[in-house]
Amino acid sequence: MAKFLVRRLLQMIPLLLGISIIVFFLTAMMPGDAVDAKVNPNMTQEQILHLKEMYGLTDPIPVRYVKWLVNAVQLDFGDSLTYLKPVTSVINDYMWNSFILSLIAFILQLVIAIPIGIVSATRQYSAVDTAGTVFALLGISLPSFFLGLLFQKIFAIDLQWLPLSGMSTAGANYTGFAHYWDVFLHLLMPILVLSLVSAGAMMRYVRTAMLEVIHQDYIRTARAKGLSEKVVIYKHALRNAMIPVITYIGFSLPTLFSGAMITEKVFGFPGIGKVAYDAIIKRDYPLYIGFTMFVAVLTLLGNLLADILYAAADPRIKME
Amino acid sequence: MKAKRLMSAAACILAVSMVLSSCGKTQQPLGEADRVTEAGVSIFDAKDKSKNVDAALKREDTIVIGTVEFNGVFSPFYVENQYDKNVVDMMYDNLFDIADDGSMVDGLATHKVSEDGKTITFTLKDVKYWDGTPVKAQDFVTSYKVFADKAYTGPSDYSLAQIKGWDDYYNGDATEIAGVVAKDDKTLEVTVDKAIGPTLEYINIFPTHPSVSYTKGDVSGAQAMSQNPIGTGAYKFVEYKEGESVTLVANDDYYKAAPKIKNVILSVTPTGKELQRVQLGEVDIDFPEASPENVQAGVDAGFIDQYVMSNNGYGYVGINNALSKFDQKTRQALLTALNRDDINEAVYGPYAFTINAPVSNVSWAYSEEGLNKYAYNLEEAAKLLEEAGWTKNSSGKLERDGETLDITFTGMPDHPVLEVMLPVMKQDYESLGITFNIEYTDFPSLVDKVNNHKAEMWFMAWGLTPDPDPKQTYHSEGAQNTYQYSNPETDKLIDEALEETDQKKRKELYKKVWQALNEDVPCMWIYQRCDAWAVNSRVKNLEMSPFRSLFTNLYKAELDNTKA
Q: How far is CA B78 from the centre of its chain?
A: 18
- Taking contacts as CB-CB distances below 8 angstroms, the residues of chain B near A168 are 244
Q: What is the pLDDT of residue B411?
A: 92
Calculate the alpha carbon distances from B178 to A100, B126, B202, B522 in Å: 55, 26, 17, 40
For chain A, how many helices (H) and strands (E)? Answer: 14, 0
Residue B18 pLDDT > 50: no
Task: Find residue B181's DSSP bridge partners.
Answer: B189
Determine the residue of chain B that is closest to A30 in CA distance: B445
Closest CA–CA distance from residue B204 to any residue of chain A (Å): 15
Q: Which residues contact B122 (CB under 8 A, 6 or more apart)?
A: B95, B109, B110, B111, B137, B140, B187, B188, B189, B190
Determine the residue of chain A that is closest to B65 in CA distance: A170
Question: pLDDT (tens digit, 9 = 90+) per residue, B274-302?
Answer: 999 999 999 999 999 999 999 999 999 99
pLDDT-derived band at B410 (thresholds 50, 70, 90) equals: very high
pLDDT-derived band at B27 (thresholds 50, 70, 90) equals: low
The chain-wide mean pLDDT, for chain B, equals: 91
The Cα B354–Cα B340 span in angstroms is 7
Closest CA–CA distance from residue B264 to any residue of chain A (Å): 8
Among A190, A211, A209, which Cα is nearest to A106's? A190
The Cα B75–Cα B92 span in angstroms is 10
Closest CA–CA distance from residue A273 to any residue of chain B (Å): 11
Mutate: best of A94, A101, A165, partner B, most B CBs <10 A: A165
Is B157 in Cβ contact with A43 (below 8 Å)?
A: yes
pLDDT-derived band at B20 (thresholds 50, 70, 90) equals: very low
Closest CA–CA distance from residue B160 to any residue of chain A (Å): 8
Q: What is the pLDDT of residue B447?
A: 86
Mutate: best of B54, B282, B460, B469, partner A, most A CBs <10 A: B282
Q: What is the pLDDT of residue B437?
A: 96
**Of B160, B270, B479, which is closest to A265 when you measure between CB atoms?**
B270
- Taking contacts as CB-CB distances below 8 angstroms, the residues of chain A near B265 are 170-171
**Of B80, B243, B444, which is closest to A270 when you measure between CB atoms?**
B243
Mutate: best of A26, A29, A39, A82, partner B, most B CBs <10 A: A39
The Cα A183–Cα A173 span in angstroms is 12
Element (DSSP H or E) covering residue B143: helix B137-148
A23, A68 Cβ separation under 8 angstroms: no
Is B267 in Cβ contact with A32 (below 8 Å)?
A: no
Q: What is the pLDDT of residue A41?
A: 67
Closest CA–CA distance from residue A23 to any residue of chain B (Å): 18
Q: How far is CA A116 from the centre of its chain?
A: 23
Q: Which residues contact A63 (CB under 8 A, 6 or more apart)?
A: none
The Cα B157–Cα B138 span in angstroms is 21
Give me the mean pLDDT over the B201-210 stretch. Answer: 96
The Cα B34–Cα B171 span in angstroms is 56
Q: What is the pLDDT of residue A320?
A: 56
Calculate the alpha carbon distances from B139 to B5, B112, B214 in Å: 55, 19, 11
Q: Which residues contact A320 (CB under 8 A, 6 or more apart)?
A: A4
DSSP B99: P
Q: Which residues contact A39 (CB under 8 A, 6 or more apart)?
A: A48, B447, B480
- Taking contacts as CB-CB distances below 8 angstroms, the residues of chain B near A274 are 69, 243
**Of A41, A169, A281, which is closest to B472 when you measure between CB atoms?**
A41
**Of A32, A39, A157, which is closest to B445 when you measure between CB atoms?**
A32
Question: pLDDT (tens digit, 9 = 90+) per residue, B39-84?
Answer: 889 999 999 999 999 999 999 999 999 999 999 999 999 998 899 9
**Of A31, A44, A166, which is closest to B267 when you measure between CB atoms?**
A166
Q: How far is CA B314 from the centre of its chain?
A: 8
Is B479 in Cβ contact with A160 (below 8 Å)?
A: no
Closest CA–CA distance from residue A200 to any residue of chain B (Å): 27
Report the first-to-last Cα separation within chain A, whole angstroms.
Answer: 8
Is A282 in Cβ contact with B465 (below 8 Å)?
A: no
The Cα A87–Cα A147 span in angstroms is 32
Is B62 in Cβ contact with A266 (below 8 Å)?
A: no
Is B265 in Cβ contact with A171 (below 8 Å)?
A: yes
Residue B166 pLDDT > 90: yes
Query: φ, ψ for residue B312 (rounded to 5)?
Result: -80, 70
Q: How many CB atoms lie within 10 A of CB A219?
A: 17
Split chain A (320 residues) into runs of 10 and give each run's mean pLDDT.
86 94 91 78 80 88 93 92 92 93 93 91 90 89 92 94 92 90 94 91 89 90 89 86 83 84 90 90 91 92 86 71
Is B263 in Cβ contact with A84 (below 8 Å)?
A: no
Closest CA–CA distance from residue B156 to any residue of chain A (Å): 8
Q: What is the pLDDT of residue A48?
A: 85
Is B472 in Cβ contact with A44 (below 8 Å)?
A: yes
Give me the mean pLDDT over the B219-237 stretch. Answer: 94
DSSP B280: H
ipTM over 0.90: no
- Taking contacts as CB-CB distances below 8 angstroms, the residues of chain B near A286 are none
Calculate the alpha carbon distances from A53 to A59, A69, B80 in Å: 8, 19, 19
